[in-house]
């Protein structure tokens, strides 16, 4: 279906604004602020100005509580009301409402998410945390977004730091940090039950109960279950990518006297997802593509336990100790990963003098994996033993060794210095880290914020951050593709297996980032946040292919060639861009939150690099991120306890993977007929029947499918 005219959307928005202006004030207690900080009722949307938002405390920028307005970084807070009223049913869907964040569906259960470029299924320059627990996987260097979930209603806020965060968070916080922060159990007392269903959302059910533990403690327990339907392929056939998952967990918070708090949380999950997997084969019947597409099931399970103790010595001094254990299991076809992670960190904030605030800390993490190889024994890229069941099978994955412990030790220090009656804030610090792959890494930063006037400030920063090698870049062997005779880019004389091998000589990718920002409340009803950046990357991952071809023989005795590539650091690159966030409240009961992002990427091989073959895959990153992105979220509080929300997004064309630009419209209407009961109706992707958003360029992947227009209803009860 062709994209529909925006006339209807504009008309609906104008009517909503007019009717909202006549709505009487209500005592809605659905707060928009961070826990214990600025709380704003959803009926007071006009109060969400930059002046008030600056007083909300953000933790992720400096690993301490800090007013957003005093943060010399491109920080953005996505509140619970932003998430709820957008109609988002998952964390990736909510992240679409943050300037500078790229979110794209690959299929129904896989996403490509990044900040400031280099997007892919395993975008390796983005650190993601949930309540301070990192969910970055060291196997492929990225995030399994299909298992990063919780009750949407329990998310207090999502803090997004665009730009390097390595000084306080360590390696892999290169282009940004996303920290999903859940509510205190004290704020989730009573019962909440919700159930939703629709044409693409088969069902989504959640149940939570919160209570008190004596006089000093609170707790909540919860469970969530969902099942989502398949997307469709470009040809209109069933994509075979539905998924289902369940999870249960708890959180408890204790006030132990005036100076000590303790938090403990835990969760378990289990689920399955489907996809149409692409597998390389030597079977001549599949020429010239030399691949098969089969339905593949992925089973996931895991859980974690986390504890955090905070002790306050004074208003200017406190310590925090956090530790967690995380267990994940994932199996698909002949691949299986079992991973155990233990992490402990200590942080101390102290004001040595009235004009400075020092934060320092120490940390240790160990992760142990047990990997099952898929058709290969790790000794050779093409294993003749893999032909026993299928004379043309070449297997896919192999790791050598199949078990490995990886340890990281770190320490950091960061000092904020106040000058000229607190008009100038200078922050400098560094993190020193030791890992098993590259040894010592140092990640310093220098930041400054100057308050031009009461409602205007500018900030600037220069930082270094690194992305350390993944387990796969060190130890993997992949049979990624089979090329027909004469097929570009190899133009081989015969069938050729394109194989990839990791190497322990792979270095960390390096970034030096330069940032400049401006924040202002231009009017009582208009606020503006602008951030610009220039990123200089070195030692970027590339693929070098040996021109000397190996020779193998399939199960029928027919010869084939093997072209072997290894991970190298022969590329460098530059990115630059601008991110704009604008809030406008035209009436007391209407609010528009909007964002615009421009970005450009330029990659090239190092001059004089001894690269036998310069692969095209590495350069694809130039065109896997949109040059332009725009979103606008309109909140409208209508009479008779009705909320209306419109979300419009534009995403530019992705040149290198041939994804056209698209415009989406989401609409949410909610009604609260009685206190504690809400009925909501959501329509998503309303401008088209379907559209593709991404096609992964990873060496082994699945068939991408298209996002479809969908509708669902949600019933929520609170008591």
Instruction: Please give the full DSSP string across 603-669, using - where no structure is assigned.
Output: EEEPTT---S-B-STGGGGGGSS-SEEEEEEEEEEETTTEEEEEEEEEE--BGGGTB--EEEEEEEE
Give the pLDDT band (50/70/90) at residue 253: very high
Give the pLDDT band (50/70/90) at residue 489: low
Question: If we measure between CA atoms, which residue out of 610, 575, 590 comes closest to residue 20?
Answer: 590
In angstroms, rounded to a whole number, what is the distance separating the alpha carbons of residues 469 and 506?
7
Whole-number pLDDT of residue 579: 97
Whole-number pLDDT of residue 10: 31
Residues 209-235: what's their mean pLDDT? 94
Whole-number pLDDT of residue 500: 84
In angstroms, rounded to a whole number, what is the distance separating the alpha carbons of residues 529 and 77?
12
Conformation bin of residue 290: beta by default, left when phi > 0, alpha when psi is -120 to 50: left
The rounded mean pLDDT for the chain is: 86
Whole-number pLDDT of residue 562: 86
- The HSE-up count of residue 451 (CA atoms within 13 Å, CB side) is 16
- Considering the four listed CATH numbers 1.10.760.10, 3.40.50.2300, 3.40.50.720, 2.40.170.20, the one that applies to the domain covering 7-718 is 2.40.170.20
In angstroms, rounded to a whole number, what is the distance separating the alpha carbons of residues 334 and 299?
12
φ, ψ of residue 310 to 5 degrees: the values are: -125, 130
Report whether pLDDT(614) > 50. Answer: yes
φ, ψ of residue 91 to 5 degrees: the values are: -60, -45
Report whether pLDDT(638) > 80. Answer: yes
Whole-number pLDDT of residue 65: 81
In angstroms, rounded to a whole number, what is the distance separating the alpha carbons of residues 380 and 386?
11
Structure tokens at 254: 């204790």
Please state, for a pLDDT cut of 70, what percent of the chain lies above it: 88
Tokens 């409340």 found at:
521
In angstroms, rounded to a whole number, what is the distance separating the alpha carbons of residues 117 and 80?
26
φ, ψ of residue 703 to 5 degrees: the values are: -70, 120
Whole-number pLDDT of residue 378: 41
Please state, for a pLDDT cut of 90, what percent of the chain lies above it: 62
Lowest-confidence segment of 225-234, 277-286, 645-654 by average pLDDT: 277-286
Task: Please tell me the chain's helix, strand, coil percentages from 3-state DSSP, rounded to the nearest 5.
Answer: 10, 55, 35
Residues 40-66: what's their mean pLDDT? 60
Question: If we measure between CA atoms, which residue out of 644, 683, 691 comes closest to residue 200?
Answer: 683
Strand partners, 307: 264, 323
Q: 509 vs 473, 522, 540, CA distance in Å? A: 12, 40, 5
* Burial environment of residue 394 by CB neighbours within 10 A (0 to 12, 13 to 18, 19 or more): buried
Whole-number pLDDT of residue 150: 93
Whole-number pLDDT of residue 458: 97
End-to-end CA distance of the chain: 43
Strand partners, 207: 193, 223
Structure tokens at 178: 């996303």
Domain limits, the chain: 7-718
Q: Are 565 and 550 in contact (CB under 8 A)?
A: no
Whole-number pLDDT of residue 36: 34
CA angle 243, 652, 689 (to 5 degrees): 50
In angstroms, rounded to a whole number, what is the distance separating the alpha carbons of residues 512 and 523?
35
Whole-number pLDDT of residue 698: 56
Report whether pLDDT(414) > 80. Answer: yes
Lowest-confidence segment of 119-123, 185-189, 427-431 by average pLDDT: 119-123
Structure tokens at 320: 């925090």
In angstroms, rounded to a whole number, what is the distance separating the alpha carbons of residues 393 and 282?
7
Whole-number pLDDT of residue 24: 33
* Burial environment of residue 328 by CB neighbours within 10 A (0 to 12, 13 to 18, 19 or more): buried
Question: If we measure between CA atoms, which residue out of 706, 689, 700, 695 comes closest to residue 1?
Answer: 689
Report whether pLDDT(620) > 90. Answer: no
Q: Are strands 424-435 and 317-332 parallel, antiparallel or unpaired?
A: unpaired
The number of beta carbons lying within 10 Å of the beta carbon of residue 233 is 19
Q: Give 83's DSSP letter.
A: H
Which residues, in sequence order, are CB contacts of 423 under 8 Å at separation 6+? 450, 451
pTM assigned to the model: 0.90
Whole-number pLDDT of residue 1: 36
Tokens 């020429």 found at:
287
In angstroms, rounded to a whole number, what is the distance separating the alpha carbons of residues 562 and 566?
13
Give the pLDDT band (50/70/90) at residue 165: very high
Q: 256 vs 36, 179, 230, 591, CA distance in Å? A: 17, 26, 49, 40
Give the pLDDT band (50/70/90) at residue 608: low
Whole-number pLDDT of residue 606: 83
Strand partners, 647: 633, 666
Q: 384 vs 54, 391, 399, 554, CA distance in Å? A: 63, 9, 17, 7
- The HSE-up count of residue 98 (CA atoms within 13 Å, CB side) is 30
In angstroms, rounded to a whole number, what is the distance separating the alpha carbons of residues 325 and 88?
29
Report whether pLDDT(27) > 70. Answer: no
Whole-number pLDDT of residue 106: 93
In angstroms, rounded to a whole number, what is the distance separating the alpha carbons of residues 673 and 295?
45
In angstroms, rounded to a whole number, what is the distance separating the alpha carbons of residues 245 and 521?
43
Question: If we measure between CA atoms, which residue out of 480, 382, 479, 396 comes closest to residue 699?
Answer: 480
Which residues, in sequence order, are CB contacts of 237 under 8 Å at separation 6+? none
In angstroms, rounded to a whole number, what is the distance separating the alpha carbons of residues 208 and 10?
38
φ, ψ of residue 143 to 5 degrees: the values are: -130, 130
Whole-number pLDDT of residue 398: 81
pLDDT tens digits, 621-633: 888 999 999 999 9
Q: What does the longest C-alpha to C-alpha distance in the chain come to?
A: 82
Give the pLDDT band (50/70/90) at residue 51: low
Most confident of 196-200, 453-457, 587-591: 196-200
Report whether pLDDT(216) > 70. Answer: yes
Q: Give 614's DSSP letter.
A: B
Q: Are strands 677-684 and 710-718 parallel, antiparallel or unpaired?
A: antiparallel
Tokens 């669902």 found at:
712
In angstroms, rounded to a whole number, what is the distance separating the alpha carbons of residues 513 and 536?
6
Give the pLDDT band (50/70/90) at residue 389: low
Residues 56-69: what's their mean pLDDT? 80
Conformation bin of residue 539: beta by default, left when phi > 0, alpha when psi is -120 to 50: left
Report whether pLDDT(552) > 90. Answer: no
Report whether pLDDT(153) > 90. Answer: yes
Strand partners, 441: 433
Report whether pLDDT(16) > 80. Answer: no
Whole-number pLDDT of residue 702: 77
Examine residue 447 and say whether the peptide bond preceding it is cis (omega within 30 degrees of 0): no
- The HSE-up count of residue 673 (CA atoms within 13 Å, CB side) is 5
Question: If we measure between CA atoms, which residue out of 103, 90, 94 comes closest to residue 76?
Answer: 94
Report whether pLDDT(469) > 60. Answer: yes
């Amino acid at each position: 279906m062709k994209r529909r005219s925006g006339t209807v959307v504009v008309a609906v928005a104008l009517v909503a604004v007019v009717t909202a202006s006549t709505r009487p004030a209500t005592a809605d207690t659905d707060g928009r602020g961070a826990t214990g900080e600025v709380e704003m009722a959803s009926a007071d949307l006009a109060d969400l100005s930059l002046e008030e938002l600056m007083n909300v405390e953000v933790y992720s920028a400096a690993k301490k509580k800090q007013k957003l307005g005093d943060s010399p970084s491109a920080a953005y807070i996505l509140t619970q009301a932003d998430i709820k009223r957008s109609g988002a049913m998952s964390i990736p869907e909510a992240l679409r409402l943050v300037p500078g964040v790229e979110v794209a569906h690959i299929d129904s259960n896989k996403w490509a998410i990044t900040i400031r470029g280099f997007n892919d299924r395993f975008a390796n320059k983005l650190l993601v945390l949930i309540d301070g627990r990192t969910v970055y996987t060291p196997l492929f260097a990225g995030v399994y977004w299909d298992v990063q979930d919780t009750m949407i209603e329990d998310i207090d806020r999502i803090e997004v730091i665009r730009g390097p965060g390595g000084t306080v968070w360590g390696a892999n916080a290169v282009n940004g940090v996303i920290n999903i922060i859940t509510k205190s159990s004290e704020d989730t007392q009573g019962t909440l039950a919700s159930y939703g269903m629709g044409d693409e959302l088969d069902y989504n059910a959640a149940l939570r109960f919160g209570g008190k533990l004596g006089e000093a403690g609170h707790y909540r327990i919860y469970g969530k279950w969902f099942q989502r339907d398949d997307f469709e392929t470009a040809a209109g056939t069933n994509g075979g990518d539905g998924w289902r998952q369940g999870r249960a967990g708890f959180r408890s918070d204790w006030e132990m006297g005036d100076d000590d708090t303790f938090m403990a949380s835990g969760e378990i999950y289990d689920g399955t997802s489907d996809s149409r997997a692409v597998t390389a084969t030597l079977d001549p019947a599949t020429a010239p593509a030399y691949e098969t597409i089969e339905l593949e099931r992925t089973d996931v399970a895991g859980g974690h336990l986390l504890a955090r103790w905070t002790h306050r010595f004074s208003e200017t001094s406190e310590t925090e100790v956090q530790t967690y254990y995380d267990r994940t299991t994932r199996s698909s076809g002949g691949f299986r990963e079992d991973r155990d992670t233990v992490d402990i960190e200590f942080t101390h904030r102290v004001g040595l003098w009235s004009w400075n605030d020092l934060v320092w800390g120490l940390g240790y993490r160990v992760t142990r994996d047990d990997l099952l190889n898929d058709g290969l024994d790790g000794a050779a890229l093409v294993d003749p033993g893999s032909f026993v069941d299928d004379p043309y099978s070449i297997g896919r994955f192999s790791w050598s060794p199949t078990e490995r412990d990886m340890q990281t030790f770190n320490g950091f220090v960061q000092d904020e210095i106040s000058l000229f009656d607190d008009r100038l804030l200078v922050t400098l610090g560094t993190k020193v880290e030791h890992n098993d792959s590259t040894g010592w890494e140092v990640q310093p930063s220098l930041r400054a914020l100057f308050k031009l006037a009461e409602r205007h400030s500018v900030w600037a920063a220069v930082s270094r951050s690194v992305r350390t090698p993944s387990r796969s870049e060190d130890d993997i062997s992949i049979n990624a593709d089979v090329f027909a005779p004469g097929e570009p880019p190899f133009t081989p004389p015969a069938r050729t297996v394109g194989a990839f091998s990791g190497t322990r000589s792979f270095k960390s990718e390096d970034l030096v980032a330069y940032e400049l920002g401006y924040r202002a409340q231009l009017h009582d009803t208009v606020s503006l946040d602008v951030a610009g950046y220039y990123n200089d990357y070195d030692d970027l991952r590339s693929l070098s292919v040996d021109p000397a071809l190996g020779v193998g023989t399939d199960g029928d005795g027919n010869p084939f060639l093997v072209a072997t590539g290894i991970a190298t650091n022969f590329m460098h690159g530059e990115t630059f861009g601008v991110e704009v966030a604008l809030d406008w409240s035209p009436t007391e009961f209407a609010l528009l939150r909007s964002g615009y992002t421009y970005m450009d990427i330029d990659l090239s091989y190092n001059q004089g690099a001894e690269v036998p073959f310069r692969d095209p895959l590495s350069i694809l990153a130039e065109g896997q991120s949109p040059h332009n992105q725009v979103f606008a979220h309109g909140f409208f509080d209508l009479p008779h306890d009705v909320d209306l929300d419109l979300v419009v997004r534009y995403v530019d064309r992705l040149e290198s993977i041939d994804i056209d630009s698209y415009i989406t419209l989401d609409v949410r209407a909610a009604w609260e007929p009685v206190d504690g009961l809400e009925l909501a109706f959501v329509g998503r992707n309303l401008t088209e029947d379907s559209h593709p958003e991404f096609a992964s360029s990873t060496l082994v992947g699945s068939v991408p499918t298209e996002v479809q227009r969908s509708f669902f209803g949600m019933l929520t009860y609170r008591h």
